[in-house]
A = this chain, B = another copy of it.
Amino acid sequence: MRLKVLLVSFLVLLVSACATPRGTGDLGVIIERAAGSVQIVETTTRTRLAQIAGLGDLSHASLVYSRDARYAYVFGRDGGLTKVDLLRGRIDKRIVQAGNAIGGAISQDGRLIAVSNYEPGGVKIFTADTLELLADIPAGSGDSQRRSKVVGLVDAPGECFVFSLYDAGEIWIADMHDPRQPQLRKFTHIGKLPYDGTVTPDGRFYIAGLFGEDGLALLDLWQPDKGVRRVLEGYGRGQEPLPVFKMPHMDYWAQAGGNAYVPAVGRSEVLVIDQKDWKEAGRVAVAGQPVFVVARPDGRQVWVNFAPPHNDTIQVIDTLSLAVIRTLKPGKAVLHMEFTPRGEQVWMSVRDENRVDVYDTGTFERVASLPADKPSGIFFTPRAHRISQ
């Protein structure tokens, strides 16, 4: 009898541990910043699959995915690096690797995780598998013992990480072919106080925004010998700095039909940039100071959210006519948007309403709404396959 009870208990355990197999191509993670938790969702029938707590301070949190789209690496503000298992719905591994951090990247081959730190400044490199520390790049300038805050960390083809040194005004390329001995190439005097950086979706052009002067610093990673040059002098701080309610994010630049669409700093405008020569090709007047400017995956539409006091609004720009074709009012504090990979729907965090809303991008109708605890970033697994997620 005791044997039977034991066996039956074992069976029950086994069945519960043995989840139905499922693909990971339609999964996503939503950051719940106040609670320090994340939700795992799926975009096919738009449901929540799991909620996972214990990720620390998730303000300004971001994440990248493993190349098999099973794990998310969540970068917290408090230096926490948490590897989340989407299929088992739990934390696989968590470390606190610095006192203050600002995002990270995964290497082209998926084997390395890099984290960009403020305190102490620098970049740390970990194995994606076990989060073992492989290298620490202190990122001080010249002979200085002072570690610089590191911003705008991205991965690039050729097993590289690229990042900017806020205090030092430099851009560094780290070649990670030997992960314990990164080979560094340093570009100095790129401009004052680079506050963020990004790379074009093809991984070719690295761009740093400058807080201390006008314009952007541009580095062609295909031709690094040409050095860093200044582009878009009308962008950024400007000659007469305007009040900026919230710095626009540089981590995603919308691209469509050879143009990039970027938020103007301190102005109620979206700038259109011709990527052939990095010159301004136009401006679109919008409802407020843009924060995220995101292209629908086919490039036909660009969706924009705004800094306070216009953060209840979304506007949609048609890229053929450069006209604002729709203004939506999803609710209080629309913080982030993420398109399904083929663009038929867009998810958005409406933080102060504790909701994530899903819109049809053809009809502009809301098709679903999911409860969430002060949601901020939304990240879908197809990012796993992009250069610089």
Is A238 at the interface (CB under 8 A from chain B)?
A: no
Q: Is the CB of B44 within 8 A of A343?
A: no
Contacts of A159 in B (CB 8 A): 344, 362
Is A2 at the interface (CB under 8 A from chain B)?
A: no
Q: Is the CB of B387 within 8 A of A385?
A: no
Question: What 0/1 readout, one digit per residue, does chain A (203-243) give for beta carbons within 8 Å of chain B?
Answer: 11000000000000000001100000000000000000000
Segment of A53-61, A67-75, A76-84, A307-315 in the binding face: A67-75
Given known pairs A69-B69, A157-B343, the reply for A204 and B24 (CB within 8 Å) is no
Is A138 at the interface (CB under 8 A from chain B)?
A: no
Is A142 at the interface (CB under 8 A from chain B)?
A: no
Q: Nearest chain B CB to A198's CB is how many angstroms away?
A: 15
Contacts of A3 in B (CB 8 A): 4
- Provide the bound-state CA to CA distance between A343 and B109, in Å: 9
Cβ-defined partner of A11 (8 Å) among B14, B26, B86, B275: B14
Chain B: which residue is nearest A66 at the CB level? B23
Contacts of A257 in B (CB 8 A): 202, 204
Cβ-defined partner of A300 (8 Å) among B222, B299, B300: B222
Q: Is the CB of A276 within 8 A of B258?
A: yes
Q: Is the CB of A68 within 8 A of B300?
A: no
- Provide the bound-state CA to CA distance between A258 and B157, in Å: 19
Contacts of A19 in B (CB 8 A): 21
Contacts of A362 in B (CB 8 A): 158-159
Q: Interface on A for B, CB 8 Å cutoff?
A: 3-4, 7, 10-11, 14-15, 17-19, 21-27, 42-44, 65-71, 86-88, 108-110, 157-159, 202-204, 222-223, 256-258, 275-276, 297-300, 320, 341-344, 362, 381-382, 384-387
Q: List 17 A-B contacts (CB under 8 A).
A: A14-B18, A21-B70, A21-B87, A23-B87, A44-B110, A108-B342, A157-B300, A157-B342, A159-B362, A204-B257, A204-B299, A222-B300, A223-B320, A297-B387, A298-B387, A341-B385, A342-B386
For the A-B complex with A14-B14, A382-B384 known, give 12 more contacts whose Cβ atoms are closer than 8 Å. Answer: A23-B70, A23-B86, A26-B69, A27-B68, A67-B342, A157-B342, A202-B297, A203-B298, A204-B257, A204-B298, A297-B387, A341-B384
